[in-house]
C-alpha cells in the first residue's frame, strides 16, 4: 500500500492553505480531491454567485488579492480559477479525481480506501468543508411529487425552473439571493423565513466586512465565546456579493411574499410558523447591537467627523397578517428550493469521533483521534474559520500542532 505522512482530503482553500503550511514545515503529504481543485466552487454552486466577502478580504497564505478591484466581489468561477493558480504557485501535491470511500484507524495512523486504491498515512486533515452537503429537512418527504425540489447545490439559474410559483425555504445568504433572482425572472416567490442574520452591506461608508475585521469580531476565538454551539449555528447573513440589498425589506420591494418558518407539511399544505415577527425583531436587534458597537468604536477614537453619520436600516416591515398555510396541490407552487443550510459530510469517516447528534468532536480543529485534524468548519478556531480569510490562521496553528504530533512532542490529541 502507498504511504504518505499526511493526507489532506479536499483541494479547496482550506486544503490548499494547509498544504502550503505543511510544505513549509517539510511534511510530505498529498491533497486528494474527488474532482479538480475548487471542485465545490465549480460544480455545487449557482451561476450568479459571487463571494460574500470583498476581494481584499480573501487573501490566502502567501498570496494577497492581486487584481485591481479590491472592493469588488469575485464570481465563484473566477475564485475557482484563482485557487487553481494558487495550487500551482505553492506547488501543491494535488491528486485529482480521487474519491475517498472510507477512512479507518490503524492505531498509529489511518488507512484510506479511495477510487485510486488504498493509501496509508500517519496524520489526516479533513478539508472537505463546512458546506459539503446541503441540509434538507425530513419534512421534504411530504412534498407532493409533482413539485420540483432543488437545493443551492443543484440549482443553477432561474430559467431551469418550471414557470410558476416558487417556495424558497430559508432566508440566509443562499435563500435570500436565490429568492431575488427567481422573483426577478417572473416566477412569484414565497420566502419562508426562520431565524436569520441581518447585516447591511455597508455601514458608514465601509463594507461591513471591513468593520467586522477592524473591531476584531472575526478574530474572536472558539475558547473565548460564551456559547460556542450557538455561535457555530449562526446563520449566514442576508448579504450578496454586490451592492444590492437582499434584506427582507428589499426582497418584499421586489414583490416577494415573506412567511414564517416552514413548520410542517400536512394534508398537502405547507404550514408556516406564526412567529415571523419575533424572528425579524430579533435579527434587527442583533444587527443594531453590532452597529452600536461600531459606533462606539468610532466614538472612542474620535473619528466620527471623518465618516458618514450613523444610521439604522429600516426595521423589517411586516404585513399585518402573514399566511400560515399554502396549498401545495392547488397548482400555485411548482418548485421548492431548500436553502436550509449546509452540513459537512464525513460519512466516509469510520472512526469514533462523532457526538450523539453526529457532529464531529473536535477542539479547535484538533479532532478527538490522535493525528486527525479538521479545517474550514464553522467557528472552528475563530469566528472567521469558515471564511476564506480564516483558513490561513487556522492552517498555521493546526500545522504546528500536527508537526509537533509527528515529532512526538504531543502525545495525544486534545
Q: Is 274 in the site for other proteins (CB under 8 A)?
A: yes
Write the interaction track for other proteins spanning residues 294-323; mark x where CB under 8 A is met and - where it is not: ---------------------------x--
Considering only residues 141, 145, 226, 411, which one is a binding residue for other proteins as defined by CB under 8 A?
226
Cell numbers for 75: 464570481
Q: How many positions of this chain bind other proteins (CB under 8 A)? A: 24
Q: Does 227 bind other proteins (CB under 8 A)?
A: yes
Angle 132-133-137 from CA coordinates, rounded to 5°? 150
Q: Is 285 in the site for other proteins (CB under 8 A)?
A: yes
Positions in 337-396 near other proteins (CB under 8 A): 356
Q: Does 273 bind other proteins (CB under 8 A)?
A: yes
- Closest approach, Cβ 290 to other proteins, in A, equals 8
Report if residue 281 touches other proteins, rule: CB under 8 A.
Answer: yes
Q: What is the Cα–Cα distance from 189 to 272, expressed in whole angstroms?
A: 15
Task: Count H helices and E strands in the chain, helices first.
Answer: 9, 21
Angstrom distance (rounded) from CA 25 to CA 202? 40
Does the protein bind other proteins through residue 123 (CB under 8 A)?
no
Q: How far apart are CA 52 and CA 47, in angstroms?
A: 14
Question: What is the full DSSP assignment across 248-302?
Answer: HHHHHHTT-EEEE-EEEEETTEEEE-S-HHHHHHHHHHHHHHHHHHHHHHHHHTT
How far is the C-alpha of 380 from the C-alpha of 221, rounded, in Å? 9
The set of residues, in sequence order, having a beta carbon less than 8 Å from that of 219 and lying 6+ positions away, is 382, 383, 384
Q: Which of 258, 271, 349, 398 binds other proteins (CB under 8 A)?
A: 271
Q: Which of 25, 36, 263, 351 binds other proteins (CB under 8 A)?
A: 263
Span of 128-136, 157-165, 236-244, 289-297 interacting with other proteins by CB under 8 A: 289-297
Q: Which helix (H) or strand (E) holds 163?
A: none
Q: List, in order, residues 6 or more apart from 254 with CB less than 8 Å away.
A: 180, 183, 184
Q: CB of residue 217 vs other proteins: minimum separation in angstroms? A: 10
Identified binder of other proteins from the candidate list 3, 146, 157, 266, rule CB under 8 A: 266
Neighbours of 170 (CB within 10 A): 29
Residue 80: its H or E element: helix 76-89
- Closest CB 274 distance from other proteins, rounded Å: 4
Say whether residue 138 binds other proteins (CB under 8 A).
no
Residue number, 271 or 360, with CB nearest to other proteins? 271
Which residue, 149 or 288, is less far from other proteins as judged by CB? Answer: 288
Chain residues that interact with other proteins, rule: CB under 8 A: 195, 226-227, 230, 260-261, 263-264, 266, 271, 273-275, 278, 281-282, 285-286, 288-290, 293, 321, 356
Amino acid at each position: 500500500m502507498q504511504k504518505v505522512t499526511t493526507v489532506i482530503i479536499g483541494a479547496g482553500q482550506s486544503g490548499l492553505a494547509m498544504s502550503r503550511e505543511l510544505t513549509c514545515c517539510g511534511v510530505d503529504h498529498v491533497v486528494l480531491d474527488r474532482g479538480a481543485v475548487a471542485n465545490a466552487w465549480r460544480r455545487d454552486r449557482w451561476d450568479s454567485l459571487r463571494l460574500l466577502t470583498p476581494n481584499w478580504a480573501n487573501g490566502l497564505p502567501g498570496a494577497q488579492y492581486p487584481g485591481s478591484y479590491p472592493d469588488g466581489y469575485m464570481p465563484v468561477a473566477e475564485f475557482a480559477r484563482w485557487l487553481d493558480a494558487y495550487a500551482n504557485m505553492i506547488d501543491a501535491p494535488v491528486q485529482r479525481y480521487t474519491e475517498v470511500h472510507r477512512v479507518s484507524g490503524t492505531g498509529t495512523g489511518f488507512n484510506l480506501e479511495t477510487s485510486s486504491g488504498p493509501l496509508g498515512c500517519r496524520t489526516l486533515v479533513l478539508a472537505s468543508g463546512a458546506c459539503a452537503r446541503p441540509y434538507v429537512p425530513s419534512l421534504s418527504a411530504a412534498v407532493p411529487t409533482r413539485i420540483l425540489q432543488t437545493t443551492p447545490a443543484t440549482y443553477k439559474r432561474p430559467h431551469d425552473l418550471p414557470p410558476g410559483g416558487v417556495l424558497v425555504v430559508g432566508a440566509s445568504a443562499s435563500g435570500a439571493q436565490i429568492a431575488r433572482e427567481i422573483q426577478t425572472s417572473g416566477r412569484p416567490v414565497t420566502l419562508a423565513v426562520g431565524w436569520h442574520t441581518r447585516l447591511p452591506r455597508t455601514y458608514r461608508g465601509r463594507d461591513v466586512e471591513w468593520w467586522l475585521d477592524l473591531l476584531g469580531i472575526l478574530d474572536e476565538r472558539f475558547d473565548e465565546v460564551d456559547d460556542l454551539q450557538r455561535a457555530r449555528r449562526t446563520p449566514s447573513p442576508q448579504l450578496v456579493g454586490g451592492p444590492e440589498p437582499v434584506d427582507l425589506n428589499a426582497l418584499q420591494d421586489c414583490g416577494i411574499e415573506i412567511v414564517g418558518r416552514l413548520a410542517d407539511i400536512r394534508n398537502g399544505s405547507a404550514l408556516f410558523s406564526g412567529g415571523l415577527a419575533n424572528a425579524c425583531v430579533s435579527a434587527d436587534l442583533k444587527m443594531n447591537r453590532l452597529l452600536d458597537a461600531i459606533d462606539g468604536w468610532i466614538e472612542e477614537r474620535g473619528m466620527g467627523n471623518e465618516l458618514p453619520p450613523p444610521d439604522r436600516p429600516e426595521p423589517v416591515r411586516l404585513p399585518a397578517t402573514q399566511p400560515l398555510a399554502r396549498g401545495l396541490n392547488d397548482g400555485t407552487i411548482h418548485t421548492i428550493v431548500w436553502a436550509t443550510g449546509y452540513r459537512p459530510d464525513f460519512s466516509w469517516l469510520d472512526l469514533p469521533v462523532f457526538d450523539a447528534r453526529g457532529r464531529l468532536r473536535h477542539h479547535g480543529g484538533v479532532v478527538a483521534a490522535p493525528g486527525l485534524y479538521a479545517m474550514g468548519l464553522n467557528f472552528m478556531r475563530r469566528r472567521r474559520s469558515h471564511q476564506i480569510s480564516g483558513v490561513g490562521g487556522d492552517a498555521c496553528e493546526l500545522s504546528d500542532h500536527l508537526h509537533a504530533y509527528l515529532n512526538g512532542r504531543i502525545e495525544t490529541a486534545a
